[in-house]
Amino acid sequence: MNLSLIGLQWGDEGKGKIIDFLSNFSNIIIRYNGGHNAGHTIYKNNKKNIIKILPSGLFKKYCLCLLSDNVFLLIENLLKEIKNFKNIFISKNIFIINLIDEFIDYLFDKIIKIGTTFSGISIINFRKVIKCCFNIRDIFKFNFIKKLKKNLFFYNIIFIFFKIKLKISIFFLLKKIKKSIFFIKKKIINNCLLINSNSKKFFESSQGVMLDFNKGTFPFVTNSNIVNKSIYIDTNFYLKNIKYIGIIKAFSTRVGNGFFNTKFKKKKTDFFSYINKEFGSNTLRLRKSGWLDINSLLEMIKINNISNLIITKMDSLIYLKYIKLLINYKINNKKMFDYQNNIFNNNYFLFNSWKNIYNNYYENEKNFHLYIRFIEKITNTPIIIISIGKNEKELIFV
Q: Which residue numbers belong to the known binding site?
A: 11-17, 37-41, 117, 131, 207, 222, 281-287, 313-315, 387-389
Binding segment for ligand GDP among 104-112, 174-182, 186-194, 310-318 (CB under 6 A)? 310-318
Element containing residue 323 per DSSP (H, E): strand 322-331
- Is residue 12 annotated as a catalytic residue, yes or no? yes
Contact residue for ligand GDP among 9, 70, 236, 281 (CB under 6 A): 281
Helix (H, G, I), strand (E, B) or coil at 387: strand
If the CB atoms of residues 7 and 55 are measured against ligand GDP, the closer one turns out to be 7
246: partner contacted, choices ligand GDP, Mg ion, none (Cβ within 5-8 A by kind): none
On whether the CB atoms of residues 312 and 247 are closer than 8 A, the answer is yes
Cα torsion angle, 350, 353, 358, 364, sign: negative
Contact residue for ligand GDP among 234, 293, 299, 315 (CB under 6 A): 315
Helix (H, G, I), strand (E, B) or coil at 23: helix
Q: Cα(223)–Cα(99) distance, rounded to whole angstroms?
A: 18
Q: Which residues, in sequence order, are bridge partners of residue 66? A: 30, 89
To Mg ion, the closest distance from the beta carbon of 288 in angstroms equals: 14
Q: Cα(174)–Cα(178) distance, rounded to whole angstroms?
A: 6
- Show contacts with ligand GDP in window 363-392 (CB under 6 A): 387-390
- Show contacts with Mg ion in window 258-297 (CB under 5 A): 281
- Show contacts with Mg ion in window 15-44 (CB under 5 A): 39
Active-site option among 20, 40, 101, 212 = 40
If the CB atoms of residues 276 and 281 are measured against Mg ion, the closer one turns out to be 281
Per CB under 5 A, does 205 bind Mg ion?
Answer: no
Q: Cα(164)–Cα(143) distance, rounded to whole angstroms?
A: 29
Q: What letter does residue 391 receive in the DSSP assignment?
A: S
Contact residue for ligand GDP among 2, 4, 6, 14 (CB under 6 A): 14
If the CB atoms of residues 273 and 281 are measured against Mg ion, the closer one turns out to be 281
If the CB atoms of residues 35 and 39 are measured against ligand GDP, the closer one turns out to be 39
Q: Cα(255)–Cα(260) distance, rounded to whole angstroms?
A: 10
120: partner contacted, choices Mg ion, ligand GDP, none (Cβ within 5-8 A by kind): none
Number of Cα atoms under 13 Å in the Cβ half of residue 184: 28
Query: Dihedral (C-alpha) 115, 118, 122, 127: value to the nearest 10 degrees?
Result: 150
Helix (H, G, I), strand (E, B) or coil at 143: coil
If the CB atoms of residues 11 and 258 are measured against ligand GDP, the closer one turns out to be 11
Contact residue for Mg ion among 3, 4, 12, 91 (CB under 5 A): 12
Phi, psi of 146 (to 5 degrees): -65, -45
41: partner contacted, choices ligand GDP, Mg ion, none (Cβ within 5-8 A by kind): ligand GDP
Q: Count the helix, strand and coil residues of the chain and give each as a percent rounded to the nearest 5.
A: 35, 25, 40
Phi, psi of 346 (to 5 degrees): -130, 155
To Mg ion, the closest distance from the beta carbon of 193 in angstroms equals: 31
- Show contacts with ligand GDP in window 22-41 (CB under 6 A): 39-41
If the CB atoms of residues 13 and 69 are measured against ligand GDP, the closer one turns out to be 13
CA 348 centroid distance within chain: 27
If the CB atoms of residues 69 and 278 are measured against ligand GDP, the closer one turns out to be 278
On whether the CB atoms of residues 47 and 23 are closer than 8 A, the answer is no
To ligand GDP, the closest distance from the beta carbon of 139 in angstroms equals: 30
Task: Calculate the alpha carbon distances from 310 to 107, 228, 324 in Å.
Answer: 38, 16, 19
Beta-strand (E) ranges in 145-266? Answer: 188-189, 201-208, 242-249, 252-254
101: partner contacted, choices Mg ion, ligand GDP, none (Cβ within 5-8 A by kind): none
Binding residues for substrate: 281-287
Binding residues for Mg(2+): 12, 39
Contact residue for ligand GDP among 3, 16, 88, 251 (CB under 6 A): 16
Catalytic residue numbers read 12, 40
- Residues near ligand GDP (CB under 6 A): 7, 11-17, 39-41, 281, 312-313, 315-316, 387-390
- Residues near Mg ion (CB under 5 A): 12, 39, 281
